[in-house]
Amino acid sequence: MSKEAAGPLAGESAQRRRSLSPAARAGVEWLRQRRWLVWVALVLGAASLAALYIATRRPGAFARGQTVSFPAPPNVDTAIAAAQERLKGDPQDINALVDLGTLHFQKGKQFYPDAINELEQARELGALDTRIFYCLGIMYQEVGLYPFALEEYQRYLRHYPDDKQISLLEAKLLYQQGRYPEAVSEYERLKFKFPNDPLVQENLGLSLWGAKDVDHAAQTFEALKTQGGDEARRAQFYLGEIALAQGKAQEAFADVTQALQAPGSVDFGIPAYQVDAVLAAAQQRLGRKDEARRLWAKVLTENPDDARAKQAKTALRRLGRGRGRVRRRFRKKRRK
């Protein structure tokens, strides 16, 4: 890919960092000055991203539109050595810095600390190469610096608005940061382009729900149910959660039970403790205390830190003791 010349964005990285909060700015400086911390963040970030359910469960499953392209050379290490030699001759060689950063990005997570440092340095010198936005977005997301990743994705999408994968990542980060109306707008844009994509439709429903547009969220999940597969089962589960939040315990129990009984694997993309928690709460509201106790105990086995299960078990235990005292008083009165 041809290199883009230096331009008016020189110093933009420094300006961007100055506009951040002191805590965020300090975080970036730590990463720049102590690159080993980036590797630690990669490990922690990977663990947190594994828990995220929104938007990119299957990022490689979709064809991408127009996008930046930088295929790896036959010998990456040789190309890295060549770029490093160019920098020895001119430490401010913007093109060499961009080449080196993208090559380190292509080598994998172990080299992200170097890649981040080199690409940010190139940008401070005025580089406008769109590969910078793409690579930094991916890497900042991996290390858990989500606001920075979102910024890079948005810059990148101004050049390549049809890149579906990056659009999904952008929408995911908007959702994750609680910017639900913006996430809704992004998923609606994606749905217009990909009307039959169940992943887009599912995450549109979740974003609508986050934005408290429950009616449209429910309509979206009802439509998703017609597509079959695990997406349809998850849609049924979400409808059960919505029903439970609206005080419709019987409907919630029926929806979740139906999701569990539908054809397919036991694991349909919702953690078992979340499924059991909805069932337990529904049974508790329906007055089925013994079954609720059993299910809350199961939730705590699956997820020992579940606060809802702990609170519910305590409440049920107190209720049981209270009823026991009432029965004892009643028996005493009858004896008299």
H-run or E-run covering 8: none
Rg (CA), the chain: 26
Superfamily designation of domain 1-56+70-177? Tetratricopeptide repeat domain (1.25.40.10)
Q: How far apart are the C-alpha atoms of 153 and 103, rounded to whole Å?
A: 19
Compute how many other C-beta atoms are within 10 angstroms of the C-beta atom of residue 149: 22
Predicted local distance difference test score (pLDDT) of residue 300: 93
What DSSP character marks residue 110?
G
Predicted local distance difference test score (pLDDT) of residue 336: 53
Q: How far apart are the C-alpha atoms of 195 and 215, rounded to whole Å?
A: 20
Per-residue pLDDT of 246-289, as tens digits, reads 999 999 999 999 999 888 777 899 999 999 999 999 999 999 99
Predicted local distance difference test score (pLDDT) of residue 332: 54
Output the pTM of the full model: 0.73
Tell me which residue has tokens 């913007």: 94
Q: Which residues of the chain are modeled with pLDDT < 70? A: 1-67, 69-72, 318-336
